[in-house]
Amino acid sequence: MTAYVITSGRCSDERVHFMTGRRGHRRHRGSRHGFGRRAGRGDIRAAILVLLAEQPMHGYQIIQELAERTGGVWQPSPGSVYPTLQQLEDEELVRETASESGKRVYELTDAGRERATETTAPWSAVAGESDDALVALRDLAQQVLAATRQVAHAGNAEQLEAAQGILRDARRGLYRLLAEED
């Protein structure tokens, strides 16, 4: 593993910025990478109510279940799930119970069950936007990103330069594809 020296708040090797996503701004979270739609504020609330109507769950289970039901298109972050659970608890729609594993498990209250019956599962709209071609494109893009990270980590100067050229050509090709008339 390469050691990086930090001087004056800046890293002496640009590679660490690529590998960590740090460059004066916060890295985008989640696995979306521009694929699929971003869920609206009400979607996470509705999703939690509908899922908890099926069975009590802890926050991580909610995140995993939503990702599974949308084919990976929508995977909410803990930063959206846990505050929403807290808000639903404040509104007395859910209550927290302790599980045998010590994790916080949430279940619907009577008012929450009533609200859940009035709520439509938002993942059906999200999952409908996902088709096989989009999933395959997303998976391939993630594979290219993984390969790019490997080159950034282990490549020499010539390999880094060649990788930049390959990625530039790929980007141009994709934009040309969009510019073509049907």
Residues 6+ apart with CB under 8 A from 94: 48, 52, 85, 88, 106, 107, 108, 109, 112
- pTM score over 0.75: no
Residues 123, 66 contacting (CB under 8 angstroms): yes
Q: What confidence tens digit (pLDDT) does each residue in 29-62 have?
A: 344 444 444 445 458 999 999 999 999 999 999 9
Domain boundaries, the chain: 6-30+133-179, 41-129
Q: Does the pLDDT value for residue 127 go beyond 90? A: no
* Alpha-carbon distances of 66 from 38, 125, 172, 176, rounded to whole Å: 13, 12, 34, 35
Sign of CA dihedral 157, 161, 162, 163: positive
Secondary structure element (H or E) that encloses residue 182, with its range: none
pLDDT of residue 139: 78
Residue 33, by phi and psi: left (phi above 0), alpha (psi -120 to 50) or beta? left
In the block, residue with structure tokens 């119970």:
97
> Residue 79 has which token pair?
């930063």
> How many other CB atoms are found less than 10 A from the CB of residue 5?
8
- Range 41-129 has CATH code 2.40.50.100: no
pLDDT of residue 22: 44
Q: What are phi and psi of 157, to 5 degrees?
A: -60, -40
* pLDDT band, residue 160 (cuts 50/70/90): very high
> How far is residue 131's CA from residue 90's CA, in Å, rounded to a whole number?
38
> How far is residue 165's CA from residue 2's CA, in Å, rounded to a whole number?
24
* Lowest mean pLDDT segment, chosen from 5-14, 56-65, 114-123: 5-14
Q: What average pLDDT score do residues 98-105 get?
A: 83
Cα 175 from chain centroid (whole Å): 24
> Residue 57 has which token pair?
């769950």
Nearest Cα neighbor of 9 from 22, 27, 26, 28 is 22
